[in-house]
């Protein structure tokens, strides 16, 4: 018997992957979590039925949510991740030798626990072995309210704006992020698909522009997300992710990446016309 999982991207379109077995299926007080083995994309994590990651293409999302900001900020020492309980974002952050502390604030302890158990290559930096990593199981909004002028970079690694992540797409939250950042801090948040989510993008970028002086969108190709074209919002207090980007430092990095590189950094900020129009002021 063949088993296939479909995440519907609209009423009429979805992505379907052949599943060879289920590794975990259970609900926390926040959401339904499933981890399955697929025939072509390795293990896959779903939250409320939405694809969060697969082992085969997670490197693209995790490299791209981290490295553009960390090679734009001249010396990021303290970095906060909100969401991202699988640990992939933290794994990329700790590749940067100047980072002294990487803090993960994830609302759902079950996601962290099951990622460590079933997705070890993703969760390698949050399994307790890395002294630079601190873990908080807490609501991102509550956590950020209690911190001011503290972080160089804040990365919002959220799910879609439904369920527990709704508050992470609102202006009030961006104001709290702004306050939690130091004077030259940078925020990056995943910002959905320019192809499918133009309304979400319009509202999100408008809210960001009311809070931050510099707001730029950049894109990445992520095969298992809706439409395959995904985006990130870079909102910054001082450093511009293209004009202040330190290309030489990125080119001289002493760690490997499989998607990000110093040329792609600039290219990622060059948008197709329809994507640019989604967020036109």
Tell the smallest beta-carbon distance from residue 158 to ligand AG3 (Å): 6
Tell the smallest beta-carbon distance from residue 111 to ligand AG3 (Å): 9
Find the catalytic residue in 48, 157, 160, 254: 157
Active-site residue, 57 included: no
Short-list 24, 157, 6, CA closest to 84? 157
Tell the smallest beta-carbon distance from residue 247 to ligand AG3 (Å): 27
Tell the smallest beta-carbon distance from residue 269 to ligand AG3 (Å): 20
Residues that bind ligand AG3 (CB under 6 A): 7, 50-53, 61, 84, 86, 88-89, 157, 159-160, 190, 225-226
- Assign 3-class secondary structure to 70-119: HCCCCCCCEEEEEECCCCHHHHHHCCCCCCCEEEEEECCHHHHHHHHHHC
Distance CA 174, CA 172 (A): 6
DSSP 44: E
Query: Which residues, at least 6 apart from 107, have a Cβ–Cβ distance to it below 8 Å?
Result: 30, 83, 85, 137, 138, 139, 140, 164
Yes or no: say if 69 and 230 are a contact pair by the CB < 8 Å rule: no
Distance CA 183, CA 146 (A): 17
Q: Which ranges of the chain would DSSP assign to H, the alpha helix?
A: 58-70, 88-93, 109-118, 140-145, 171-180, 198-211, 247-251, 262-268, 273-278
Tell the smallest beta-carbon distance from residue 200 to ligand AG3 (Å): 11
| Nearer residue to ligand AG3 within complex by CB, 72 or 89 | 89
Burial 122-141 (b: 16+ CB within 10 A, else e): bbbbbeeeeeebebebbbbb
| Nearer residue to ligand AG3 within complex by CB, 54 or 72 | 54
Which residues are catalytic, by number? 157
């Amino acid at each position: 018997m063949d088993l296939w999982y479909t995440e519907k991207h609209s009423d009429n379109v979805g992505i379907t992957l052949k599943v060879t077995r289920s590794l975990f299926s259970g609900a926390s007080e926040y959401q339904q979590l499933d981890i399955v083995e697929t025939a072509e994309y390795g293990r896959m994590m779903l939250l409320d039925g939405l694809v969060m990651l697969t082992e085969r293409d997670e490197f693209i999302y995790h490299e791209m949510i981290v490295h553009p900001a960390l090679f734009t900020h001249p010396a990021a020492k303290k970095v906060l991740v909100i969401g991202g309980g699988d640990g992939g974002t933290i794994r990329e952050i700790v590749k940067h030798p100047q980072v002294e502390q990487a803090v993960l604030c994830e609302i759902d302890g079950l996601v962290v626990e099951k990622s460590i158990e079933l997705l070890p290559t993703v969760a390698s930096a949050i399994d307790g072995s890395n002294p630079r990593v601190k873990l908080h199981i807490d609501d991102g909004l509550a956590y950020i309210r209690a911190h001011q002028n503290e972080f160089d970079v804040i990365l919002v690694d959220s799910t879609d704006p439904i369920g527990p992540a709704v508050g992470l797409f609102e202006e009030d939250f961006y104001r709290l992020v702004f306050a939690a950042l130091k004077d030259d801090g940078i925020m990056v948040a995943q910002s959905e698909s320019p192809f499918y989510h133009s309304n979400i993008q319009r509202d999100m970028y408008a809210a960001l522009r009311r809070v931050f002086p510099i707001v730029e969108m950049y894109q990445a190709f992520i095969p298992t997300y809706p439409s395959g074209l995904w985006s990130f919002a870079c909102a910054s207090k001082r450093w511009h992710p293209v004009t202040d980007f330190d290309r030489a430092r990125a080119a001289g990095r002493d760690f490997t990446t499989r998607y990000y590189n110093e040329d792609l950094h600039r290219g990622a900020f060059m948008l197709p016309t329809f994507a640019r129009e989604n967020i036109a002021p």
